Structure 1
Amino acid sequence: MPGEPTYGRDAATWSPLDSDGWYAARNATTALRDALVRAGLQKDFPYLRADLNAFGHGLVELGRVSPDTAERLAELLRLALASGSGRDRSDCEHASTTVEEHKGRT
């Protein structure tokens, strides 16, 4: 990536596995997949995957879903918001820990 030290390597040897963005996207995708499994929606998001854009920023690709799936997801979000449930502290701590453990990789 431009501006990042290559430590004797050229850009042709860059790998997404060297990117914090990749691990953040992968961890977020895994967390979302687990929530979708708990909600019984795992088969409704066949295009769910972690990705990187051209600048190395992590992205989560949700893909296309049916209108029924979108309505069900919207209802789950409404219920979660109405119940006042936010992210658990353990989820926040787990996400920051998993990102931190990959920062040392080069």
Structure 2
Amino acid sequence: MHGDGEEPNDAASWSPIDSREWYAARDAVAALRDVLIAAGLHKDFPYLRADLNAFGQGLIELGRVSPQTAERLAELLRLAMGCPHGAGAHDAESAGDPRGRHNDGTQSEE
């Protein structure tokens, strides 16, 4: 049991449930799930799940979706990018890529 003086898990007894990455992936899936439910898309993502790869990195699997679902998701993302999200929000042109790229592929000049 945890906290009763046992040594930390070794590679042979490692469990994903003990990793920070697993909890981050699980929390991200829960947040995405809640938004998909609110958008009425929850039944369109039956394979949505949190996972870890062989290197222990958290991953979110969206799975296969229909073309109609992909189009609806794309439209929702376009609409969201055009909405201000409170003070200091970015406009649709500069939103999206954390590396400073614009949606048209150009790089921000800073």
Aligned partner letter, 2:65: V
How many angstroms does 1:12 deviate by? 1.4
Alignment of structure 1 residues 74-89 onto 2, 5 Å: 74-85=74-85
Q: Which runs of 5+ in 2 are unaligned?
A: 1-6, 87-110
**How many pairs were matched up?**
81
Larger radius of gyration: 2
Percentage of identical aligned residues: 73
Larger relative contact order (CA 8 Å, sep ≥ 6): 1
TM value normalised by structure 1: 0.71
TM value normalised by structure 2: 0.69
Which deviations, in whole Å up to 9, do the C-alpha atoms of 1:35-59 show, x marking residues without a partner? 0000000000000000001010100
Alignment of structure 1 residues 5-16 onto 2, 5 Å: 7=7, 9-16=9-16
Q: Helix, strand or coil for the counterpart of 1:13?
A: coil
Runs of 4+ in 1 over 4 A off after TM superposition: none
Greater percentage in helix = 1
